[in-house]
Amino acid sequence: MLAEIRATLGMSPAAAGLLTSLPVLAFAVFGALAPTAAARLGVHRVTLLALVAAVVGLAGRAATSSEALFLALSMLALGGMAMANVLLPSLVKLHFPDAVGRVTAIYSTALAVGLTSSLLLTVPVSDAGGSWRWGLGLWAVLALLSALPWIGLVAHDRTLESGERSVRWSDVARTRLGWAMAAFFGLQSMQAYAVFGWFAQLWRDNGYSAGQAGALVALLAGVSIPLSLWAPAAVARRDDQARILLAVMLCYPVGYVGLMVAPHDLAILWALFVGVGAVTFPIVLVLIGLRARTPQGTAALSSFTQSTGYLLAAVGPFGVGTLYDATGGWTAPLVLLTALMVPQIAAGMYVARPAKIEDQLRS
């Protein structure tokens, strides 16, 4: 909907560029603040406030005609999403310490359903309502519904305990595991941002219509729905997650090489392979919960992993777009994405080994 939004608001190219960069900025800044806020205000209160921010931001930007206000409200919504996203692994650890894999599977599957739904529904809802405002405003309703269950939890809120052995963001930054988790999260997010940001254009350039290209990206996202139910639980049942993680990650380069060779005729097959590779995301979410001993440690690890990782992730879509503009084709961007799998696999194999962030702080 970016073209339609720019036309309505008179948005400049610079503002449009800023808009596409806001998710990374929000997750880097607000994600880092989440554990401190949860320690002071209570994890359930902060989660509820984060969801309220998402509701206000999503609804407000669908109604405004001001470019500046649209950007500010987008940042408000994204800030709320970032804080809630960072706190989710610690909430799982707090309420379901013996079922981290199963509960992570449930919420990561919900994320996959939401992603696929947004790809499929935003444009049709906008068309039906006669404006992009309906397509964007729809998601404020979903955010409001998701906020309602948290109202009952705030009356008896719990803080993430801080004591002599509490783990802070700065503590995680002093560990090998913390940096490996951040690198792994950032590299896998880099792949995902590049894929979801550019692959519709890739398929349009190779002969598919806009609707068909969008459907292929939705198929790619949809693959992760059933796999997100299976992968986190399967990973949590094992002490060493290397084999599952490696098998999932290797699907990325298979899909990329296939897209270099037969981007049109075998598009569905390659979309399936890349979609399986994207299941790395729910796996890294469950690893955050498994690599700390306490909810407070999980929050600190989640904050450092995601806030630092998302800064790295910004390089992906920017680099792919730059190479695409410079070469006029998709071979160089796909080679770049394939090459980036080397450090991602290396980081993944390190974080797949059994370890706890608290143990590296004591050693």
pLDDT in tens, 306-350: 888 888 887 887 788 888 888 889 999 999 999 999 999 999 999
Would 162 be classed as within a structural domain?
no
pLDDT in tens, 266-307: 999 999 999 999 999 889 888 988 888 888 888 888 889 988
Would 275 be classed as within a structural domain?
yes
Q: Tell me the average pLDDT across 251-277.
A: 95
Judged by average pLDDT, the poorest of 18-22, 34-38, 58-62, 184-188 is: 18-22
In whole angstroms, what is the distance from residue 10 CA to residue 357 CA?
Answer: 48
What is the reported pLDDT for 159? Answer: 62
Judged by average pLDDT, the poorest of 128-132, 257-261, 271-275, 320-324 is: 320-324
Of 97-106, 123-132, 240-249, 338-347, where does the model show the most confidence? 338-347
Residue 1 has pLDDT above 70, yes or no: yes
Confidence of residue 182 (pLDDT cuts 50, 70, 90): very high
Contact yes or no for 335/323 (Cβ under 8 A): no
355: containing domain: 2-155+167-362
If you search the block for the tokens 């380069």, which residue do you land on? 253
Judged by average pLDDT, the poorest of 81-85, 112-116, 334-338 is: 112-116
We report the CATH number of the domain holding residue 24 as 1.20.1250.20
What is the reported pLDDT for 162? Answer: 52
Flag whether the pTM goes above 0.85.
Answer: no
**Mapping DSSP to helix (H, G, I), strand (E, B) and coil, where does residue 363 land?**
coil
Give start and end residues of each alpha helix (H) in the chain.
2-9, 13-41, 43-63, 67-95, 100-129, 132-151, 169-172, 176-205, 210-222, 224-236, 242-249, 251-261, 267-277, 280-290, 295-313, 315-327, 331-339, 341-351, 357-362
What is the reported pLDDT for 161? Answer: 56
Would 136 be classed as within a structural domain?
yes
277-291: buried (b, 16+ CB within 10 Å) or exposed (e) per residue?
bbbbbbbbbbbbbbb
Would 161 be classed as within a structural domain?
no
Contact yes or no for 169/190 (Cβ under 8 A): no
In whole angstroms, what is the distance from residue 33 CA to residue 293 CA?
Answer: 21
Q: Tell me the average pLDDT across 223-230.
A: 85
What is the reported pLDDT for 242? Answer: 87
Would 160 be classed as within a structural domain?
no
Structurally, the chain folds into a number of domains equal to: 1
If you search the block for the tokens 């005729």, which residue do you land on? 265
Would 57 be classed as within a structural domain?
yes
pLDDT in tens, 59-68: 999 999 999 9
Would 235 be classed as within a structural domain?
yes
Would 171 be classed as within a structural domain?
yes
In whole angstroms, what is the distance from residue 234 CA to residue 30 CA?
Answer: 31
Q: Tell me the average pLDDT across 155-167.
A: 63
What is the reported pLDDT for 164? Answer: 47
pLDDT in tens, 188-215: 988 988 898 789 889 989 988 877 888 8
